[in-house]
Amino acid sequence: METIFTKIINQEIPSYKIAENDSFYAFLDINPNAKGHTLVIPKKPIDKLFDLDEETYADLFSYARKIAQAIEKVVPCNRVGLSVIGLEVPHAHVHLIPLNSMNDANFAAPKEKMTSEEFITLANKIAEAVEN
Ligand code: AMP
């Protein structure tokens, strides 16, 4: 099923893109738990993460690690956490969240407010830190 994430992948709607390859796309979450909160998605429009085929599933985590390492270089944090929710957008994705406290992992907590300029600057910095 196509969702808003398919439109993002196809550049039909804008996103604060960090990186992409043939199979995956990484971009800043527009409603972040913490600055640097990033989504990594497969380009295939599969709803549930655990329904991905074995290869896509393994490669997604490998790609997510690369993005998490870039986030950790750029965003001051104790570590980068990974969460799987999927209650809002039915297109498989993992959340990479810079963590300083347990509250940063709490999706029900008030969100971080960022200006468009802040999103752009941060996405560019993380993008530059991604190792090829
Ligand atoms: P969930 O499906 O519950 O894992 O949550 C989906 C996440 O996607 C939420 O954290 C939203 O803030 C985020 N999100 C929804 N639409 C967009 C968008 N257009 N650009 C970036 N992030 C989005």
Residue 27 confidence (pLDDT): 98
Which neighbouring-strand residues pair with 41? 25
Three-state DSSP at 102 gives: helix
Length of the chain: 132
93 is catalytic: yes
112 CA to centre of ligand 1 in angstroms: 13
pTM: 0.98
Which mean pLDDT values do the consecutive 10-residue runs of the chain (132 residues) have?
94 98 98 98 97 98 98 98 98 98 97 98 98 84
DSSP string, 29-67: -SS-SSTT-EEEEESS--S-GGGS-HHHHHHHHHHHHHH
Mutational test site, ligand 1, from 88, 91, 95, max ligand atoms within 8 Å of CB: 88
pLDDT at 2: 87
- The CATH architecture of the domain made up of 4-131 is 2-Layer Sandwich (3.30)
